[in-house]
Every structure is written in C-alpha cells, then in structure tokens.
Amino acid sequence: MEAEERHWLVEERFKETLKLAEQREEELHRQLAVVREMVEKPAGSSPARDLSAFWAQPFSEEIEQTIIPQNF
C-alpha cells in the first residue's frame, strides 16, 4: 500500500509540474509575440501594445531574499 501511495504522489507532483511548465510556456509565447511585434514595427510608430507581460515576471527566491538598502 505504501508503494502505491508514493507512486500516486509522484504522479500528482508530475502532473502539477507539467501544468506549471505549460503555463510558463504559454507566457513565454505571449512575451515572444510582443517582442516580435515590437521589432517588426517601423521605427517611427509608437508602441500600441500593452507591455504588461514583461511586468509579470516573477522574482527568483534569491532576489526576493536580498535586502535592499534604504538609500536605494
């Protein structure tokens, strides 16, 4: 029984990890589309696309745990 439980837990974790990877892939595809659109626009045109996709980037734990000086 214990082996079956471990196997089930591993499968569930794998499904969760796969779902997160697919979500990340979709986000990267959206960002790539924004970048491609920006590159293909003529130099004189103003950016009409919402760049909020770039603001949604999560910080890594290393960055989040860094202390920011008060004079920053």
Domain assignment present for residue 5? The answer is yes
Please write the tens of the pLDDT for every residue from 28-68.
999 999 999 888 887 665 555 566 655 655 655 556 667 76
Domain assignment present for residue 72? The answer is no
pTM for this predicted structure = 0.51
Residue 10's domain spans which residues?
1-42
Structural domain count, the chain: 1
Q: What is the CA radius of gyration of the chain?
A: 20
pLDDT value for 71: 73
Domain assignment present for residue 25? The answer is yes
- What is the maximum alpha-carbon separation in the chain? 67
Domain assignment present for residue 60? The answer is no
Q: Give the list of residues 6+ apart from residue 48 with CB closer than 8 angstroms, or none.
A: none
